[in-house]
Amino acid sequence: MVDKNAKIYIAGHRGMVGSAIQRSLESKGYKNLIGFSSKELDLTDQLSVKGFFEKEKPEIVIDAAARVGGILANNNYPYTFLMDNMLIQNNLINYSHQFGVDKFIFLGSSCIYPKLAPQPLKEESLLTSSLEPTNEWYALAKITGVKACDAIRKQFGKDFISLMPTNLYGPSDNFDLETSHVMPAMIRKFHEAKENGNSPVTLWGTGSPMREFLHVNDMAEAVVFAVENSFKDNLYNVGTGKDMTIKALAELIQKITGHKGEINWDSDKPDGTPRKLMDVSKMAVAGWEAKIGLEDGIKETYEWFLKNIDQYKQVKL
């Protein structure tokens, strides 16, 4: 058992994932959690990170910090996405190793797997073929983090592991229509269309691609499970193992938000990858499975959006 007073550092504790991890740890009685904002600690600065480890001496480190963005940002700032993410994770991994951290949990993304890898995505598909070009810079950085943790396990026998989540959603998600992912964008679009007299909602593509979604609180529970258990391998997928079409997702969100208007599909816009489903059997064998149903999870996310709606600029659709 992990001591509930063990000093646990959550890098990225203010983000959607990091804040969920903090809530989950607190709910289970962990009392010695630390986190610093990017203004307080620049994780790309090697000397600052070294000084942090010298002073704070955390026993467990959870790396939920990253520079993230959509296709546009990845395409426009490839060097920034590659280098900033490598600097962040390399500093955290290296000084966790140097300063004797007992356990390090590295969080990545399903985009580390090849664009045309067999479905569902298995951990052993890593590095078997080419990446999706639109986010390869971010993916490459995350792959190096996975391999760094693996190398430390092999060379030094330390408990450094990597968890790769599927598409995450939930409270504190990004609802900015320019930069958000598919689910929060739909929630906002349907809500604002409802407020605008149930005006039609136009969505990109045909609605035929299939996607998997994991509530961020489930992801947080998976991280806590990893804190409290030793895993046999280095790399584990985290998801539900279930997917649905984008069209079905849109209809579910429409129902939950109460929008009564039409849904129009702009088939001139790209669909993206036809399917992206994670094989989560390794995590199931280890003893963890997702619990939050998609409809319940979307309802909770919509409620959070409504409570925090003032921070989002209302636009007419």
Say if residue 16 carries a ligand binding annotation.
yes
**Is residue 310 very low, low, confident or very high in pLDDT (cuts 50, 70, 90)?**
confident
Say if residue 211 carries a ligand binding annotation.
yes
Judged against a pLDDT cut of 70, whether residue 313 lies above it is answered with: no
Say if residue 278 carries a ligand binding annotation.
no
pLDDT of residue 123: 98
Judged against a pLDDT cut of 80, whether residue 317 lies above it is answered with: no
Say if residue 17 carries a ligand binding annotation.
yes
Q: Are 106 and 222 in contact (CB under 8 A)?
A: no
Q: What is the mean pLDDT of the segment spanning 16-33?
A: 97
Judged against a pLDDT cut of 80, whether residue 314 lies above it is answered with: no
Instruction: Tell the residue number behind the tokens 């959006």, with chain if given.
Output: 305
Say if residue 261 carries a ligand binding annotation.
no
Does residue 32 form part of some domain? yes
Judged against a pLDDT cut of 50, whether residue 24 lies above it is answered with: yes
Does residue 202 form part of some domain? yes
Does residue 25 form part of some domain? yes
Active site residue 138: yes
**Is residue 135 very low, low, confident or very high in pLDDT (cuts 50, 70, 90)?**
confident
DSSP alpha helices (H): ranges in the chain?
16-27, 46-56, 71-76, 78-98, 136-156, 182-195, 216-228, 246-257, 281-286, 294-307
Give the phi and the psi of residue 31 in degrees, each rounded to 5. Answer: -110, -10
**Is residue 178 very low, low, confident or very high in pLDDT (cuts 50, 70, 90)?**
confident
Q: How many domains does the chain have?
A: 2
Q: What is the mean pLDDT of the segment spanning 242-265?
A: 97
Q: Are 236 and 163 in contact (CB under 8 A)?
A: yes
Residue 103 one-letter amino acid = K
Query: Would you tell me how many other CB atoms lie within 10 Å of the CB of residue 21?
Result: 30
Query: Would you tell me how many other CB atoms lie within 10 Å of the CB of residue 100?
Result: 11
Query: Would you tell me how many other CB atoms lie within 10 Å of the CB of residue 65?
Result: 24
* From 95, 138, 169, 236, the catalytic residue: 138
Say if residue 108 carries a ligand binding annotation.
yes
Instruction: Tell the residue number behind the tokens 């000093």, with chain if given.
Output: 7
Residue 119 one-letter amino acid = Q
Give the phi and the psi of residue 14 in degrees, each rounded to 5. Answer: -95, -10
**Is residue 177 very low, low, confident or very high in pLDDT (cuts 50, 70, 90)?**
confident
Does residue 30 form part of some domain? yes
Q: Indicate if the alpha-carbon torsion angle 227, 232, 237, 238 is positive or negative.
A: negative
243 DSSP 8-state letter: -
Q: What is the mean pLDDT of the segment spanning 261-289?
A: 93
Residue 260 to residue 133: CA distance in whole angstroms: 38
Say if residue 189 carries a ligand binding annotation.
yes
Q: Are 300 and 171 in contact (CB under 8 A)?
A: yes
pLDDT of residue 269: 86
**Is residue 316 very low, low, confident or very high in pLDDT (cuts 50, 70, 90)?**
very low
**Among 317, 210, 215, 305, CA closest to 257:** 305
Instruction: Tell the residue number behind the tokens 């007419």, with chain if given.
Output: 316
Q: What is the mean pLDDT of the segment spanning 269-286?
A: 91
Say if residue 167 carries a ligand binding annotation.
yes
Residues 87 and 187 grouped into a single domain: no
**Among 217, 238, 303, 266, CA closest to 20:** 217
Name the residue range of residue 231's domain: 8-169+213-238
Q: How far is CA 157 from CA 62, 152, 299, in A?
A: 18, 7, 43
Judged against a pLDDT cut of 90, whether residue 101 lies above it is answered with: yes
Does residue 1 form part of some domain? no
Q: What is the mean pLDDT of the segment spanning 151-179?
A: 94
Residue 212 to residue 276: CA distance in whole angstroms: 7
Residue 178 to residue 224: CA distance in whole angstroms: 32
Residues 42 and 142 grouped into a single domain: yes
pLDDT digits (tens, 9 = 90+) for 216-228: 999 999 999 999 9
Q: What is the mean pLDDT of the segment spanning 50-74?
A: 91
Residues 53 and 196 grouped into a single domain: no
**Is residue 68 very low, low, confident or very high in pLDDT (cuts 50, 70, 90)?**
confident
Residue 81 to residue 73: CA distance in whole angstroms: 8
Residues 156 and 264 grouped into a single domain: no
Does residue 288 form part of some domain? no
Query: Would you tell me how many other CB atoms lie within 10 Å of the CB of residue 109?
Result: 17
pLDDT of residue 52: 98
Does residue 174 form part of some domain? no
Residues 40 and 163 grouped into a single domain: yes
Q: Which residue has the higher pLDDT, 38 or 149?
A: 149
Judged against a pLDDT cut of 90, whether residue 76 lies above it is answered with: no
Residues 149 and 199 grouped into a single domain: no
Say if residue 215 carries a ligand binding annotation.
no
Residues 304 and 189 grouped into a single domain: yes
Q: What is the mean pLDDT of the segment spanning 118-135?
A: 94
pLDDT of residue 146: 98
Q: What is the mean pLDDT of the segment spanning 124-136?
A: 93
- The CATH number of residue 84's host domain is 3.40.50.720
Q: Are 304 and 172 in contact (CB under 8 A)?
A: yes
Supply the pTM of this predicted model: 0.94
